[in-house]
Chain A
Amino acid sequence: MFSINRRTFIKLSALTGAAALATRFTRRPALAEPLIERPPEGVITDKYVATSCLNCATRCATRVRVTNGMAVKIAGNPLSQVSEGENCPRAHIGLQVLYDPDRLEGPMKRTNTAKGKGIDPKWTPISWGQALTEITDRLQALRAGGNPHKLVLFQGLNTISDEDVIRRFAAAYGTPNLISAEGLENEADMASEWLADGNFTQSAYDLANTNYILAFGANIVESQKPLARNLRMWGKMRRERPNRVKVVVVDPRYSITAAKADQWLPINPGTDAALAMAIAYVIITEKLYDADFVEKYTTGLDAYRQVVIESYRPEKVAPITGISAETIYKIAREFAATKPAIAWRGRGATGWPNGAYTGYAIFCLNALVGSIDVPGGVTYQINPEYKAMPALAEDDTAKKGKSQQRLDLGHTADFPAAETVTNQAADSIIAGRPYPAEIAIGFNSNFNMTAPATARWEEAMKKLPFYVHIAPSVSEMAEYADIVMPSPTFLEEWGYDHSPPGSGFAEVKLKQPAVAKLHDTMGIIDIIFELAGRLGGSITQSFAGMGRTAEEFVRFRTENLMNWQKWLDDGVWVNKSYKYYKYDSIFKTPSRKFEFRSGNLEARLKELGKSADEQAYLPHYEKADFFGDEKQYPLVLTTYHPVLKIESDVQNYPWAQEIYLAMHARGWGNFVEINKETAHELHIKDLDEVWVESPFGKLRAKARIFAGVHPHVVSIAMGQGHTAAGRWAKGIGINPNEITGVAYDRTSGQSAFYNTRVRVYRA
Chain B
Amino acid sequence: MARWGMVIDLDKCIGCQACSLACKAENDVPHGSPEEQAKRREPYWHRVIAAAEGEYPTQRWEFIPMPCMQCDQAPCTTVCPAKATYHREPDHIVVQDYRKCIGCRYCIVACPYGVRHFNFKDQEAKPYHHPDLPPTLAVRGMWPYPTRVRGVVEKCTFCFHRIDQALREGKEVGTDVVPACVEACPTRARAFGDLDDPESEVSQLLATRTWFRLREEMHTEPKVFYLPR
Contact = CB atoms under 8 A, between A and B. Distances in A.
Interface of A: 5, 26, 28-33, 36, 38-43, 67-68, 70-76, 83, 86-89, 91-93, 95-96, 98-99, 221-222, 228, 231-232, 234-235, 238-240, 254, 256-257, 259-260, 264, 266, 643-644, 654-655, 658-659, 662-669, 675-677, 707-709, 711, 732
B207 interface: no
Given A36-B125, A231-B14, A256-B14, 13 more contacts: A40-B131, A92-B22, A95-B128, A231-B16, A235-B9, A235-B189, A254-B59, A259-B63, A644-B17, A662-B16, A669-B34, A707-B55, A711-B56
B131 A663 contact: no
26 contacts: A26-B147, A28-B122, A29-B122, A32-B124, A33-B124, A43-B131, A43-B132, A83-B186, A88-B18, A92-B18, A98-B128, A99-B126, A234-B12, A259-B60, A259-B61, A259-B63, A644-B17, A655-B24, A655-B31, A662-B48, A663-B15, A665-B47, A665-B49, A668-B33, A668-B37, A707-B59
A39 B31 CA distance: 19
B14 A234 contact: yes
Contacts of B196: none
Contact of A663 (B50, B122, B186, B187): B50
Given A39-B131, A72-B128, A98-B128, A662 B50 contact: yes
B197 interface: no
Contacts of A711: 56
Contacts of B185: 86
Nearest to A228: B186
B42 interface: yes
B90 to A, nearest CB: 27
B131 A235 contact: no
Interface string B71-87: 00000000000000000
B111 interface: no
B125 A264 contact: no
A5 B11 CA distance: 43
B198 interface: no
A36 B129 CA distance: 12
A88 B59 contact: no
Contact of B12 (A68, A96, A235, A677): A235
Contacts of B188: 86, 232, 235, 240
Interface in B84-128: 121-128
B128 A30 contact: no
Contacts of A232: 186-188
Nearest to A70: B127
Contact of B187 (A33, A74, A234, A658): A234
B122 A662 contact: no
B124 A73 contact: no
Contacts of B129: 39, 72
Contact of A28 (B52, B125, B187): B125
Contacts of A40: 131
Contacts of B25: 72-74, 92, 95
Contacts of B59: 254, 707-708
B54 interface: yes
Interface string B15-40: 11110111011100001111001000
Given A708-B56, A711-B56, A662 B147 contact: no
Contact of A239 (B11, B34, B54): B11
A31 B183 CA distance: 32
A30 B55 contact: no
A50 B55 CA distance: 47
B17 to A, nearest CB: 5
Contacts of A88: 16, 18, 186
A73 B183 CA distance: 12
Residue of B18, B52, B133 with highest tally of chain A CB at under 10 A: B18
A43 B12 contact: no
B16 A658 contact: no
B220 to A, nearest CB: 23
B61 A71 contact: no
Nearest to B32: A658
A643 B19 CA distance: 13
B57 interface: yes
Contacts of A667: 37
A231 B56 contact: no
B57 A264 contact: yes
Contact of B31 (A29, A86, A240, A654): A654
B55 A239 contact: no
B130 interface: yes
Nearest to B18: A89
A70 B128 contact: yes
Contacts of A256: 14-16, 63
Given A70-B127, A232-B187, A707-B59, A89 B26 contact: no
A709 B193 CA distance: 40
A43 B133 contact: yes
B125 A659 contact: no
A707 B52 CA distance: 9
Contact of B32 (A86, A92, A643, A654): A654
A93 B128 CA distance: 11
A600 B189 CA distance: 44
Contacts of B131: 39-43, 67-68, 70, 72
A32 B57 CA distance: 45
A89 B133 contact: no
B122 A235 contact: no
Nearest to B9: A239
B21 A93 contact: yes
Contacts of B31: 654-655, 658
A655 B16 contact: no
Contacts of B18: 87-89, 91-92
A74 B26 CA distance: 10
Contacts of A654: 31-33
A676 B16 contact: no
A644 B25 CA distance: 16
A447 to B, nearest CB: 27
Residue of A32, A70, A666, A707 with highest tally of chain B CB at under 10 A: A707
Given A43-B132, A239-B9, A707-B54, A30 B16 contact: no
Residue of A70, A231, A256, A266 with highest tally of chain B CB at under 10 A: A231
B159 interface: no
